[in-house]
Amino acid sequence: MLYHIATYGCQMNEYDSGVLATMMESEGCVATDDPSAADFILVNTCSVRQKAEDTALARISKFKPFKRANPNLKIVLAGCMAKNHGESLIQKMPLIDYVIGPDHYRKIPDILFGNPVHASRKNSAARTMVEFDSLEMYKDASAKLASPFSTYVAIQRGCNKHCSYCIVPHVRGPEKYREEAGVLREVREAAERGVREITLLGQTVNAYRSGDTSFAKLLEQVSLVPGIERIRFTSPHPRHYTPELIDVLLGNPKVCAHAHIPLQSGSNVMLKKMRRQHQIDDFLRITEKLRGANPLYGLTTDIICGFVGETESDFEQTLEVVREVQFDSAFMFIYSPREGTESAREPETLSEEEKKERHRRLVDLQNEITLARNRMMIGNTECILVERPSTRNPEEWVGKTGNFKKVIFRPAGSVSPGAWANIHIDDIRGWTLRGTPAEE
């Protein structure tokens, strides 16, 4: 039996698709990249923006001929859309056999392989499982590896923050944490299979706590697992950067010198309206500590332009913080109200053109800063984790520095994915560093 998984959205969904793949393969199924050949298609969806939902539904509608050709084909809609819309998805698109929310994946083998009770479920309600389950943390899970040398491990799910523009708490539920033992078991298994780099995942990953084990302690534990050389994490919340955590980030050489810390806005008025639960000074205290100890510490961020009520002065404050922090790069979004969130209930105060104009100004500023930050790397010798041959030129290879910068180099001899290489940074081209093997 063949299965095909289509994944949309964030790293958490990529990890969950790895868990789904392991479940399908434990039932003897084999993965296929060709949905037309599959007996089971699982679509792991994202609800962060309307566009993400529309894209997934458009994709599912293309599976119609496959179902005509193979009436036994089963289509499962999983992920955040499942919780966001529930059984209405089956009514809207009868092509979909089951709607399974992120807390019910454990039931999928039972549903698809055989428990006749599930197979006999006729009405859409019976084929929909989306309620939050506060206990389900997939603690015994092992996600199919994302790559042979680098993989994700989910340690926390859900979110208690309720930022006014965000749909995540509505579709992923309250925060819950995976037991330390389960995390370390999955990390050990991955290391035994050759993984060298682990990325710990959570919607507010640094809020992690399991008994007495804080996120800082967990990082230390993971760094003691033999074979693990690099540790990354995403996505942290500024509120949970404790002094203990900062000490580990700066003191443990296996924890990469890079953090993605969402800023969203540089104005305290906007942060309050977004319900980000911190002020700009809290944010700057973190970045000053990290960059104070290591000027090349990689800092990336998320910023929303044109939020409801954002004045020119609020936006200027965002530009000011961007100039002050000097982020290595940033995801910069134009605010769009997300149905079901608090801020979507408020009428917008800026036109699309005004929002776009602010976005343009922010992108121009950040592009200048990214170039300047990359130029600071020239002359350094960096240890990079080699990922793959360059798509543009197969004689060149691509890898990442500890502070999360992409490097392209021409290897002296043979090289393979997952290898370490010391690269002298000679130049930058666009957003990419270029270098030569240090021995040369």
Q: Which residues bind ligand SF4 (CB under 6 A)?
A: 159, 161-163, 166, 168-169, 203-204, 237
- Taking the complex as a whole, the smallest distance from the CB of residue 163 to ligand SF4 amounts, in Å, to 3
| Strand, coil or helix: 394 | coil
- State the minimum distance, in angstroms, from the CB of residue 283 to ligand SF4: 14
- With left for phi above 0 and alpha for psi between -120 and 50, is residue 78 left, alpha or beta? beta
SS3 177: strand
Angle at 415 between CA 414 and CA 416, to 5 degrees: 135
Tokens linked to 224:
């003691």
Which residue, 166 or 245, is less far from ligand SF4 as judged by CB?
166
Smallest gap from Cβ 46 to ligand SF4, in A, equals: 12
Q: How far is the CB of 394 from ligand SF4 (least distance, A)?
A: 39
Nearer to ligand SF4, 23 or 263 (CB): 263
Strand partners, 386: 399
**What residues pair up with 304 in beta bridges, in sequence order?**
333
139 vs 162, beta carbon nearer ligand SF4: 162
Nearer to ligand SF4, 20 or 163 (CB): 163
Q: Return d(Cα 274, Cα 252) in angstroms, integer.
A: 33
- The DSSP 8-state label assigned to residue 43 in this structure reads E
Closest listed residue to residue 365, CA positions, set 426, 274, 421, 301: 301
Coil, strand or helix at 33 = coil
d(CA 260, CA 302): 8
Going through 164-208 in order, the beta strands assigned E by DSSP cover 176-177, 197-201
Which one, 6 or 48, has the nearer CB to ligand SF4?
A: 48
In the complex with ligand SF4, the residue whose CB is nearer, 77 or 271, is 271
Nearest to 195 by CA among 231, 167, 162, 164: 231
Please say which residue, 223 or 235, places its beta carbon nearer to ligand SF4. Answer: 235
Distance CA 364, CA 423 (A): 30
Shortest reach from residue 261's CB to ligand SF4, in Å: 11
| Least Cβ distance, residue 302 to ligand SF4 (angstroms) | 8
Q: What is the DSSP letter of 255?
A: B
| Nearer to ligand SF4 among residue 47 and residue 374 (C-beta) | 47
CB of residue 207 to ligand SF4, shortest distance in Å = 9
Q: Could you identify the residue written with the tokens 């490097």? A: 407
Supply the minimum distance, in Å, between the C-beta of residue 303 and ligand SF4: 12
Which residue, 264, 357, 359, 369, is CA-closest to 325?
A: 369
